[in-house]
Structure 1
Amino acid sequence: MSLKQALWLSLACLATVFIARRTFASDPSRGALWRVVETCVAAKRALNVSLPCVQVNLGQHGSPGTVVLRPPWKETHTLVVPTTRLVGIEAPALQQPEAAAYWQAALAARRFVVEAAKGRVHVEDVALAVNSRGSRTQDQLHIHADCARPEVLAALRLHDAELGSAWKPLEFLESLGFPHDNQRFFGIKIAADEIGTSNIFERLTDLPGSRRDLSRVGVAVFSAPPNGSRQDFYVVAAPGRDSQAEDLLDHSCVLARGVAADDSPANVQR
Structure 2
Amino acid sequence: MTPPRRVTALAASFLPLLFAPAFADSDVLWKIVHDRCAVQTAPCLSVNTAEHYAMLKDLNGIAQFLLIPTDKITGIESPDLLNPATHNFFADAWAEQGDVDSRLPHAIPRDGLSLAVNAQQARSQNQLHIHIDCLSTDARAVLKADADRVGTDWAPLPDAIAGHQFTAIRVKGETLGDFNPFLALAKTLKDPAKDMGGHNLVVVGANFAEGPGFIVLTDVAKPGMGGEDVQDHSCAIEH
Q: TM tier, shorter chain? A: 0.7 to 0.9
| Corresponding residue number in structure 2 for 1:58 | 49
| Corresponding residue number in structure 1 for 2:220 | 239
Where 2:153 maps in the other structure, the secondary structure is coil
Higher helix share: 1
Note if contact 2:52-2:71 (Cα within 8 Å) is conserved in structure 1.
yes
Counterparts in 2 of 1:71-220, with a 5 A limit?
A: 71-72=58-59, 74-119=61-106, 121-172=108-159, 174=160, 176=161, 178-179=162-163, 183-192=164-173, 195-207=176-188, 210=190, 212=192, 213-220=195-202
Larger-gyration structure (1/2):
1
How far does residue 118 in structure 1 lie from its aligned partner after superposition?
2.5
Note if contact 1:100-1:198 (Cα within 8 Å) is conserved in structure 2.
no
Where 1:140 maps in the other structure, the secondary structure is coil
Q: Which has the higher contact order (CA 8 A, sep 6+)?
A: 2
Alignment of 1:42 with 2:23, yes or no, is no
Please give the alpha-carbon distance, in whole angstroms, between the structure 1 residues aligned to 2:113 and 2:235: 9
Structure 2 vs 1, CA of residues 131 and 117 (structure 1 numbering), >3 Å: closer, same or farther? same
How far does residue 97 in structure 1 lie from its aligned partner after superposition?
2.1
How far does residue 114 in structure 1 lie from its aligned partner after superposition?
1.2
How far does residue 24 in structure 1 lie from its aligned partner after superposition?
3.8
Structure 2 vs 1, CA of residues 155 and 16 (structure 1 numbering), >3 Å: closer, same or farther? closer
Structure 2 vs 1, CA of residues 73 and 143 (structure 1 numbering), >3 Å: closer, same or farther? closer
How far does residue 154 in structure 1 lie from its aligned partner after superposition?
2.1
TM-score by length of 1: 0.76
Please give the alpha-carbon distance, in whole angstroms, between the structure 2 residues aligned to 1:170 and 1:106: 24
Any idea what the Cα deviations from partners look like across 1:80-117, whole Å, max 9, x if unmatched? 00000001001111012233521121001222111111
Any idea what the Cα deviations from partners look like across 1:151-207, whole Å, max 9, x if unmatched? 2122222222221221101131x2x5x24xxx4210001111772111110111233
Any idea what the Cα deviations from partners look like across 1:209-266, whole Å, max 9, x if unmatched? 63621110001111111768x4210001021354401001111111011xxxxxxxxx
Please give the alpha-carbon distance, in whole angstroms, between the structure 1 residues aligned to 2:16 and 2:83: 34
Letter in 2 for 1:52: P
Structure 2 vs 1, CA of residues 32 and 145 (structure 1 numbering), >3 Å: closer, same or farther? same
Structure 2 vs 1, CA of residues 55 and 169 (structure 1 numbering), >3 Å: closer, same or farther? same
Structure 2 vs 1, CA of residues 35 and 226 (structure 1 numbering), >3 Å: closer, same or farther? same
Percent of aligned pairs sharing the same letter: 25
Count of aligned pairs: 229
How far does residue 128 in structure 1 lie from its aligned partner after superposition?
0.5
Tell me, which stretches of 5 or more residues in structure 1 are unaligned? Answer: 1-11, 44-49, 258-270
| Corresponding residue number in structure 2 for 1:253 | 235
Letter in 2 for 1:236: L
When structure 1 is superposed on structure 2, of 243-252 and 65-74 the one drifting more is 65-74
When structure 1 is superposed on structure 2, of 109-118 and 82-91 the one drifting more is 109-118
Please give the alpha-carbon distance, in whole angstroms, between the structure 2 residues aligned to 1:162 and 1:169: 10
Where 1:156 maps in the other structure, the secondary structure is helix
| Corresponding residue number in structure 1 for 2:3 | none
Where 1:139 maps in the other structure, the secondary structure is coil
Please give the alpha-carbon distance, in whole angstroms, between the structure 2 residues aligned to 1:247 and 1:144: 11
Note if contact 1:130-1:144 (Cα within 8 Å) is conserved in structure 2.
yes
Tell me, which stretches of 5 or more residues in structure 2 are unaligned? Answer: 1-5
Please provide the CA RMSD for this pair. 2.6
Q: 1:223 aligns with which of 205, 213, 217?
A: 205
Note if contact 2:110-2:207 (Cα within 8 Å) is conserved in structure 1.
no
Structure 2 vs 1, CA of residues 154 and 201 (structure 1 numbering), >3 Å: closer, same or farther? same
Structure 2 vs 1, CA of residues 194 and 127 (structure 1 numbering), >3 Å: closer, same or farther? closer
